[in-house]
Amino acid sequence: MPALAERLKQFSVSASVIMATKARELAAQGIKVVSMTTGEPDFATPANAIEAAHQAALNGETKYTPQDGTRRLKEAVQRKFRRDNDLDYALDEIMITNGGKQSIFNAFMATIDPGDEVVIPTPFWSSYAEMAKVAQGTPVFVSCPQNNGFKVRPEDLEAAITPRTKWVMLNFPNNPTGAACSRAEMEAIAAVLLRHPHVWVMTDDMYEHLVYDGFEFCTIASVEPRLKDRTLTVNGASKTYAMTGWRIGFAGGPKQLIKAMVNMQGQTTAGVSSVGQAAAAAALDGPQEGVAERAAIYRERRDLMVEMLNAAPGIQCHKPEGAFYVFPNIGGCIGKTSAGGRLIATDGDFALALLEEKYVAVVQGAAYGMSPYIRLSYASSTEHLREGCKRIQEFCQALR
């Protein structure tokens, strides 16, 4: 068999994908598995979005689309940025991508030269580092400890930036911790970035509408307009509108950066699904009451998860401001042995033993750059989450 590329040795398969696959394999054997691995809303796509896609197909909108997106969706995104973020982007400063991930990939591939550094606050969504490496960049990790609410400290960010830094990544509300930055905290981050004009800034705002207890979301180009000409604001329809499978992301940024990203997309996937773009435009421009209603349900689920996990021996769960993840510390379980005889030396051991013995699937914190933690998604039914947390309590109670 001909050889595969050497570059593949640099990359790893997503831990959440691995654990989700193991969970599906057990479920296929007839085992009742409670999986809390995947960040995918369990709600249905809004009916007006589905109807818009249907009508677009009936109207013959089934051909190739412009590489930067249809005018209709770009205008809807333009209105969304103005309405939700107080950001004014021209149409040639906006592009549509196959999910938010492609916006990030396009930007890295269009800007990173070999050896350029990408500063990533940790814990982090693992794809950031992997995509930086695909672009021949070097990930540089900045620890965001739990005692700071899993948020980046300005002095730590300052220390991480070097002359080789090309990008600083921001993701608040965060995957995997759910942490979100207040305006004052974002202003402190912006003050650091203003001192480094050679650095691009990327903010992944995919969870912006999933914030709780009166928390007010803010994005860095709005907080500090002087950074707007070197900030890429990434978002999409997946989390807010439960449209993960539609694969619609979008980004706003400086014209020349967007032009380069469109060129990169043109050599990879080209234009995005025509009917998917019609659906996303309807979601962005349509009634928004459902967004707040779903957020209220997520908040109830968060509270349930935090309460039940904190009742499990050896677990300490921080209450996050947003997203739909909790990231509990399992330090009190390390060094113990499970009822099935497995030594829990790492959070990976904990996750594997939990799956094999109690049929609950979670993801080890090491996959996101911080141990000893686990990530659990609460983007599933309350009954499902309650059963999963009950099994986790039983698992922890049996540790010796």
400 has a pLDDT exceeding 90:
yes
For residue range 324-337, list pLDDT tens digits in order. 999 999 999 999 99
Please write the tens of the pLDDT for every residue from 156-176.
999 999 999 999 999 999 999
Q: pLDDT band for position 376 (50/70/90)?
A: very high
28 band by pLDDT with thresholds 50, 70 and 90: confident
Gap between the Cα atoms of 77 and 280, Å rounded? 9
Q: Which fold has domain 6-44+290-397?
A: Aspartate Aminotransferase, domain 1 (3.90.1150)
Please, are residues 64 and 270 in contact by the beta-carbon 8 Å criterion?
Answer: yes
Distance CA 331, CA 394 (A): 17
d(CA 266, CA 214) in angstroms, rounded, equals 41
Mean pLDDT of 188-212: 98
What is the chain's mean pLDDT, rounded? 96
Global pTM reads 0.95
Mean pLDDT calculated for residue range 117-122: 98
Question: 217 is written with which tokens?
Answer: 């979301």
Helix, strand, coil share (%) of the chain residues, nearest 5: 45, 15, 40
Distances (CA, A) of 5 to 48, 268, 362: 44, 18, 31
**Pairing, β 94-97 against β 34-35:** unpaired
Residues paired with residue 95 on neighbouring β-strands, in sequence order: 251
> Which CATH number applies to 47-285?
3.40.640.10
* pLDDT of res. 23: 79
Q: Give which of 223, 224, 221 is closest to 235, Cα–Cα.
A: 221
Amino acid 114: pLDDT = 96
56 pLDDT higher than 90: yes
| pLDDT attached to residue 38 | 87
Q: By C-alpha distance, which of 88, 44, 114 is closest to 253?
A: 88
pLDDT band (50, 70, 90) for residue 25: confident
Domain boundaries, the chain: 6-44+290-397, 47-285
Contact by Cβ (8 Å): 70, 95: no
